[in-house]
Amino acid sequence: MKAVGLLKYLPITDAESLMDIELPMPQASKRDLLVKVQAVAVNPVDTKVRKPKDLIEANYKVLGWDAVGVVVAVGEQCELFKVGDAVYYAGDITRQGSNSEYQLIDERIVGLKPKTLTIEQAAALPLTTITAWEALFDRLQISVKPAENVGKSILIIGGAGGVGSIAVQLAAKVAGLTVVATASRPETTEWVKGLGATYVVNHRQDIVPQLQEINLPNVDYILCNNDTDAYFKTMATVIKPQGKICSIVETNAPVDLGLLKNKSATFVWELMYTRSMYQTHDMIAQHEILDKVTALIDNGTLKTTVNQVMRPINAANLRAAHAQLESGTTIGKIVLSSW
């Protein structure tokens, strides 16, 4: 089968950083589905895993953690899906990724593809949607009932990126929160407003006075999608007493949790791969999240965050997509389709 993989971890400008390859067809067993991949999305995690380092793989490593496809075989223990089902999923970082014609994936982290979306539109959603859903509703423990969130607000740092684009929608349209999103360019400002942000502030300027200007000097929740190190002091300043902060971005240095002590504020991490990486008892929650989102998409509450589509799925286009992500100017999601 066709795939795109790597042996060496190189700059994306190197032709060997991602290569067109052939791999054996995998076989489904236990709770695995064998999916014929039709479209994939590219995420910052792809570029982080691929970033240059002194390591050479003995066998080809396949990246890719967003996919849409059709189930072509099921393992003997599968209960949730059947051959022919159209599915979407974000995958498991401990296994081979979705940049291949066929992929094995545990059914407990797979959902039925939204019927109202094209394969490209659906491929933009799984990783960022699971991340945003877990961050908001599992880590920050925000209620999904708007009546319980009256008067509450959230600051979403990095509102126009992949996770931010779906988090703004979930916070505004599902939870009913007052959403303050950050963006720094006219096009990203318009993007997040169109997704449901009540206010937009510029993250390249001091956020504190900007929140004061809109009469929201303190917020109940914060979701940080960009540079935890740079924004931690700001987050500690603007979070309400007993508020909650969640970040999806690793730190380069220890954060000063002491800044949160007097407010009895919470700081929590979100990593979408935790459940699959550790095979947690509630791993099937990601299947449930994806199915809930499918319903919200199909009833018109949420919309896809795809902003660029490339064809076909090959090394050259994936290298271009990685370069675009590494530029730091991407709005929404980049999707590739067809082999």
What are 34-45's pLDDT values in tens digits?
999 999 999 999
Indicate whether 150 pLDDT > 90: yes
Report the distance separating Cα 195 and Cα 129, nearest Å: 14
Q: How confident is the model at residue 64 (pLDDT cuts 50, 70, 90)?
A: very high
Residues 6+ apart with CB under 8 A from 109: 89, 90, 91, 92, 275, 276, 283, 286, 287
Question: What's the confidence (pLDDT) of residue 102?
Answer: 98
Residues 6+ apart with CB under 8 A from 172: 179, 195, 196, 197, 198
Q: Buried b / exposed e across 169-204, counting CB within 10 Å, b at 16+?
A: bbbbbbbbbbbbbbbeeeebbebbbebbbbbbbebe
Reading across the β-sheet that carries 19-22, which strands appear in turn? 19-22, 2-9, 53-62
Number of other CB atoms surrounding residue 105 within 10 Å: 26
Share the mean pLDDT of the chain: 97
Question: What's the confidence (pLDDT) of residue 273?
Answer: 97
Q: How confident is the model at residue 328 (pLDDT cuts 50, 70, 90)?
A: confident
Of 128, 134, 133, 135, the C-alpha closest to 160 is 128
Instruction: Say what the alpha-carbon torsion angle 120, 311, 99, 334 is, to the nearest 10 degrees.
Output: -50
Question: What's the confidence (pLDDT) of residue 96?
Answer: 97
Domains in the chain (CATH in brackets) are 2-125+278-337 (3.90.180.10), 129-269 (3.40.50.720)
Question: What's the confidence (pLDDT) of residue 36?
Answer: 98
Q: Are 124 and 335 in contact (CB under 8 A)?
A: yes
What are 302-321's pLDDT values in tens digits?
999 999 999 999 999 999 99
What are 218-245's pLDDT values in tens digits?
999 999 999 999 999 999 999 999 999 9
Of 301, 294, 279, the C-alpha closest to 88 is 294
Q: Are 335 and 34 in contact (CB under 8 A)?
A: no
What are 100-149's pLDDT values in tens digits?
999 999 999 999 999 999 999 999 999 999 999 999 999 999 999 999 99
Report the distance separating Cα 104 and Cα 73, nearest Å: 9
Question: What's the confidence (pLDDT) of residue 329?
Answer: 87
* Secondary structure class of 264 (helix, strand, coil): coil
Q: Which amino acid is at 188?
A: T
Q: Which amino acid is at 29?
A: S
